[in-house]
Structure 1
Amino acid sequence: MLTYFFDIVVGYAIVYEFSDDGSSPYNRTNKLMRFSDKKYYYLDSFNMFISENSYVYDVLNNISYNDKEKITDFINSSNTNRNSTAPSIPIIDPDDYEKGYSSLSTKSINGWDNYYMTTGDFSATGHCGATSAVNLLLYYYQSRSYYNLYDNNNWQTAFSTIYSYAGYNASIWDVSGAINRYFFSKNYNSISANATILSKDSTMMGKIDNNVPFILNVMGHNLYEEHFVLALGYRQYQFSNGTKRIYYKIADGWVSRALRYICPADASMQNAVYISE
């Protein structure tokens, strides 16, 4: 959870911005903000608060708070009372979104911390499926010693082949079929890619427990929309009422490290592709 507290330079407001993808989350205008002796607070989804002396002004909701105890309670609650269906930015730490759980299970597969490819590494469109397939191959090359998967010392060549097999905006069946064709072309006949449709309550935790990474395809996700990622670990939160929430550690094809998480419950549909050896 990111919260910024900073003082105003007399005469002008300093605006701090945070964005994982480099884009600005604010609508810019040519108007100067001229306040003095004020403090600005950015909470949750870039909600802004202005405080001066004994009040806080909630810019987003147009509400003023005058009681200091209420102000403190409000700011603290803004930091903690969140749920995983809300974020519109990548999840770095699921603990920021789940509170009051009774137990936590966590697991990462061996070699999860490799460097991975991103969609920006390849000149194509509608290619997140092919990118995730290359990342799966990259994992098996680096962590399982399938050295023939590295085509001519160039993952670009592997991507071009996979993309030509899978096609534009590939389905899980296209991706699994492309991986199998690639395995066959490299004389790996004892391993295969399998595609599966997952129900809303299904998990692939068993694969992670057995050190098997998998490609997760989500649809209708509030951040990733329709996208393919490579899952390399999980964190499962269990609550006293029996509810469970799972987050997968992923290489999302947007950044080169598996330092983000996805909650599949935030998607309308989920599918998976995994390797059988």
Structure 2
Amino acid sequence: MTLTVEQLTKKFDHFTAVDHLSLEAESGKIFGLIGQNGAGKTTTFRMILKLLVPTDGVIKWGGETVNTLDRDMIGYLPEERGMYPKMAVEDQIIFFGRLRGKNKRDLKKEADYWIERFGLSDKRRALTETLSKGNQQKVQLIVSMIHQPSLLILDEPFSGLDPVNAELLKKAILELKERGATIIFSSHRMDHVEELCDHLCLLQKGKSLFSGAIHELKSQFGKINLTLRGPFMEAQLAKMPGVLSVSCQNDTFRLLLSNEQDAKTIFNEVTKNGFIERFSLDYLSLEDIFKRKVGDGNV
């Protein structure tokens, strides 16, 4: 089902943490909530979960206004992790699943699957406090989804994970998407958001700067990211029409253009002496767009 947030607002005395936020997260889709620290991401999650009471606004699930969502259909991975340090990994997973109304036999089968999937088979009877930070993160993720939630909220799920474990997590999130779950997550890693999300909301100081499909956000800027490889000098490229900046790494140049139409003129210029190894025009990365939208404008 679809989660809809309409004009959601949260004020703490004279401070507005979330300011008339509207978004829509569909079932079988992944929705990213991004923004700097203090942008209002966690506050939004807590209002959806009814851990905080909104000052104003409406939350709908499946088109119906809800005052309290059924906790058994929600999975939540908070940014601040919390598990029982003296409890064994498998026992902890089963325990939290039972709290969500699932029977032990079904949970055992699901726990076996995810424990093996996340490479924790040899840690099954280990106390949680003895695990590395990355393995604790994996256990907490299993806990958040062991009951097969319809709505899964992940607050900074990639925090503290190495690239191998981050890849395991991404595959798990995609599997839950295929199962039809509605998934919302926040992350400071724009590459993860860009890779996983169908839609996103960009928050700044509690206000939405953009909400929609990623390709719609990118199309606002056009294809102004030009990559070149060939016998060029940086100073030569910087003087070409429409070039705002040039950077070089090894033998590859990245040009930021003022307009994608400038690429044709540049192509004619750099190929006038014949073949070049690379000429690639693309949209800005989500990280570059994020910096433009909420940072100092430099990319």
**Structure-1-length-normalised TM-score:** 0.27
Larger helix percent: 2
**Structure-2-length-normalised TM-score:** 0.26
